[in-house]
């Protein structure tokens, strides 16, 4: 029976000693979701990317709205009266008073063209602000694409790590169940005690509770991945391996540069746009000058007073000239709008300053955090190698009779914990690298 125990333990160690669970991942087959498919699905379905794309489209249209102030305006108005009552004008010609109806055309068409060539540079500043806003929207969209793909990759790695941790928990349960069956056999044979059985049962119950938590984390991580991808169904299986962190993946010369962060460039452009709108606010306080031309077509073809004779066809009249206008007082609305524009410009400047300070701190934080996680990953890899050697030596010692199977079991449990620690460190390094990419504007994959 002892030989059977030794052989079973040795076989268990050989099965569980591999760090990458290739057999586990191979079970996914063609149904498993791979990283490239997750990223492509996110590109097509991400609601955030679609929203920002519509913002870019709206910002492009806003440029046309702003530039319209430079272009001539043309309007047509037409009036047609179905019935009317004319006012009368009385004129006394000596002793013969005469009443004349104050007639106006039944049909009237008016075509008006105007071109404002000076408005205090309000149109020019508004147009410049709209161009800056459009460029900012484009930069924000590009930055969102970059961050969204990073976000999906991170969510994929989190789900993959949860899946691997669940497998580690499952292997731990299988090992404990195997040991429990052997201890129960020893108890029945009289070579073991009831205390040994109870101890293993307690460890097994705790391991099963950990397995439930690991399975829950796996399901929740898959749903989080589905949300990031923009789909309404969580993937049932993931395929792939976590990236192996390396110190040389991030250059030592890497420095924080505002010019390489699209979101920061966008914020700077929005600040400039706010300054332009503040300047445009002066336009409402300055006189405006425009050229205009008017042509009218009118007809007295159906008078509503029998004393007036109708005429056939339409007559026309036209004129053109220069118009000056100055809104001297509008209840303070123009001044209030100017004050609002000034306040918005100052707010944008403070937002830019806060964003720049935060971005520099984020860059330094994640650069150092990635370095730490790389070192931690390598240390935990060596810990796995150490515990694998401990399990191997424990197996030999149990066969030689110098150690008990409890010491062998403790060595195996330490190995499982070490493997879980490696997965966690590997995931932490991947998350840190993703944050560093966002903070620097660079991709290191």
- The pLDDT assigned to 31 comes to 62
Range 347-377 burial, b when 16+ CB lie within 10 A, else e: ebeeebeebbeebeebbeebbebbbebbebb
Query: How many residues belong to the chain?
Result: 445
- The pLDDT assigned to 303 comes to 63
Q: Are 7 and 100 part of one and the same domain? A: no
- Of 325, 347, 376, the residue that ends a domain is 325
Q: Are 297 and 423 part of one and the same domain? A: no
For 112-124, how does the pLDDT look when each residue is reduced to its tens digit (9 = 90+)?
999 998 888 888 9
Nearest to 2 by CA among 237, 252, 182: 182
Please, which pLDDT band fits residue 4 given cuts at 50, 70 and 90? very low
Share of the chain above pLDDT 90, in %: 44
For 365-402, how does the pLDDT look when each residue is reduced to its tens digit (9 = 90+)?
999 999 999 999 999 999 999 988 888 888 888 777 77
Do 355 and 393 meet the contact criterion of CB atoms below 8 Å apart? Answer: no
Helix, strand, coil fractions of the chain, as percent rounded to 5? 65, 15, 20
Q: Are 128 and 35 part of one and the same domain? A: yes
Q: Is residue 31 part of a domain?
A: yes
- The pLDDT assigned to 17 comes to 35
Is residue 179 pLDDT above 70, yes or no?
yes
Q: Are 9 and 41 part of one and the same domain? A: yes
- The residue that leads in pLDDT, 129 or 327, is 129
- The pLDDT assigned to 306 comes to 61
343 C-beta neighbours (distance < 10 Å), count: 12
Please, which pLDDT band fits residue 363 given cuts at 50, 70 and 90? very high
Q: Are 131 and 223 part of one and the same domain? A: yes
Q: Which helix (H) or strand (E) holds 98?
A: strand 96-102
- The pLDDT assigned to 199 comes to 84
Q: Is residue 445 part of a domain?
A: no
Is residue 344 pLDDT above 80, yes or no?
yes
Q: Is residue 357 part of a domain?
A: yes
Q: Are 176 and 228 part of one and the same domain? A: yes
| Total number of domains in the chain | 2
Please, which pLDDT band fits residue 20 given cuts at 50, 70 and 90? very low
Q: Are 112 and 209 part of one and the same domain? A: no
- The pLDDT assigned to 15 comes to 35
Do 443 and 44 meet the contact criterion of CB atoms below 8 Å apart? Answer: no
Share of the chain above pLDDT 70, in %: 89
Lowest mean pLDDT among 139-148, 256-265, 328-337: 328-337
Q: Is residue 11 part of a domain?
A: yes
Q: Are 38 and 89 part of one and the same domain? A: no
Lowest mean pLDDT among 246-250, 262-266, 319-323: 246-250
**What average pLDDT does the structure give for the chain?**
84
Is residue 218 pLDDT above 90, yes or no?
yes
Host domain of residue 409: 2-71+120-287+332-440
CATH number of the domain where residue 431 is located = 1.20.1600.10
Q: Are 183 and 247 part of one and the same domain? A: yes
Lowest mean pLDDT among 115-124, 263-272, 306-315: 306-315
- The pLDDT assigned to 205 comes to 92
- The pLDDT assigned to 281 comes to 84
Do 226 and 235 meet the contact criterion of CB atoms below 8 Å apart? Answer: yes
Do 44 and 38 meet the contact criterion of CB atoms below 8 Å apart? Answer: no
Q: What residues have CB less than 8 Å from 423, skipping those under 6 apart?
A: 161, 164, 165, 168, 242
Q: Which helix (H) or strand (E) holds 42?
A: helix 35-45
Q: Are 305 and 418 part of one and the same domain? A: no
Lowest mean pLDDT among 8-22, 160-174, 278-292, 331-345: 8-22
- The pLDDT assigned to 347 comes to 92
- The residue that leads in pLDDT, 276 or 106, is 276
Do 84 and 304 meet the contact criterion of CB atoms below 8 Å apart? Answer: yes
- The pLDDT assigned to 221 comes to 95
Q: Are 62 and 96 part of one and the same domain? A: no
- The pLDDT assigned to 167 comes to 92
For the entire predicted model, the pTM comes to 0.76
Please, which pLDDT band fits residue 304 given cuts at 50, 70 and 90? low
Q: Are 79 and 112 part of one and the same domain? A: yes
For 48-81, how does the pLDDT look when each residue is reduced to its tens digit (9 = 90+)?
888 888 999 998 888 888 888 889 999 999 998 8
The tokens describing 271, both together, are 């600040």
């Amino acid at each position: 029976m002892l030989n059977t125990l030794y052989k079973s333990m040795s076989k268990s160690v050989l099965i569980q000693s591999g760090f990458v669970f290739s057999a586990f991942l191979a079970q996914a087959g063609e149904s498993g979701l791979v990283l490239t498919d997750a990223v492509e699905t996110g590109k097509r379905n991400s609601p955030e990317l679609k929203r920002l794309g519509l913002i870019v489209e709206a910002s492009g249209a806003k440029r046309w709205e702003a530039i319209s102030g430079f272009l001539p305006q043309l309007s047509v108005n037409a009036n047609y009266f179905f019935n009317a009552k004319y006012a009368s004008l009385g004129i006394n010609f000596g002793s013969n008073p005469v009443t004349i109806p104050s007639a106006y055309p039944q049909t009237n068409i008016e075509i008006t063209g105007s071109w404002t060539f000076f408005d205090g540079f309000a149109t020019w500043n508004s147009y410049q602000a709209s161009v800056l806003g459009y460029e900012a929207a484009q930069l924000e969209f590009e930055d969102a694409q970059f961050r969204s793909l990073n976000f999906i990759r991170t969510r994929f790695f989190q789900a993959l790590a949860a899946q691997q941790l669940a497998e580690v928990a499952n292997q731990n349960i299988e090992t404990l169940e195997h040991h429990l069956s052997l201890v129960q056999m020893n108890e029945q044979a009289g070579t073991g005690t009831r205390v040994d059985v109870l101890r293993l049962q307690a460890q097994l119950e705790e391991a099963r509770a950990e397995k439930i938590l690991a399975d829950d984390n796996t399901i929740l991580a898959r749903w989080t991945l589905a949300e990031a991808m923009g789909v309404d169904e969580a993937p049932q299986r993931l395929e792939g391996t976590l990236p192996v962190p390396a110190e040389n993946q991030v250059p030592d010369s890497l420095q924080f540069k505002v010019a390489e962060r699209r979101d920061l460039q966008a914020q700077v452009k929005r600040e400039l746009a706010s300054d332009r709108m503040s300047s445009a606010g002066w336009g409402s306080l300055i006189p405006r000058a425009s050229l205009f031309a008017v042509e009218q077509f009118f007809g007295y073809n159906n008078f509503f007073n029998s004393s007036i004779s109708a005429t056939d066809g339409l007559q026309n009249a036209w004129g053109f000239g220069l118009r000056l206008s100055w809104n001297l007082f509008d209840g303070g609305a123009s001044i209030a709008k100017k004050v609002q524009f000034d306040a918005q410009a100052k707010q944008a400047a403070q937002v830019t300053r806060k964003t720049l300070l935060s971005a520099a701190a984020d860059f330094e934080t994640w650069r150092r955090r990635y370095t730490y996680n790389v070192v931690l990953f390598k240390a935990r890899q060596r810990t796995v190698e150490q515990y694998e050697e401990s399990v191997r030596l424990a197996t030999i010692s149990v066969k030689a009779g110098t150690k008990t199977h409890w010491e062998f079991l403790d060595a195996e449990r330490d190995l499982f914990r070490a493997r879980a620690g490696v997965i966690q460190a590997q995931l932490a390094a991947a998350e840190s690298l993703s944050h560093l990419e966002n903070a620097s504007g660079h991709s290191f994959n």
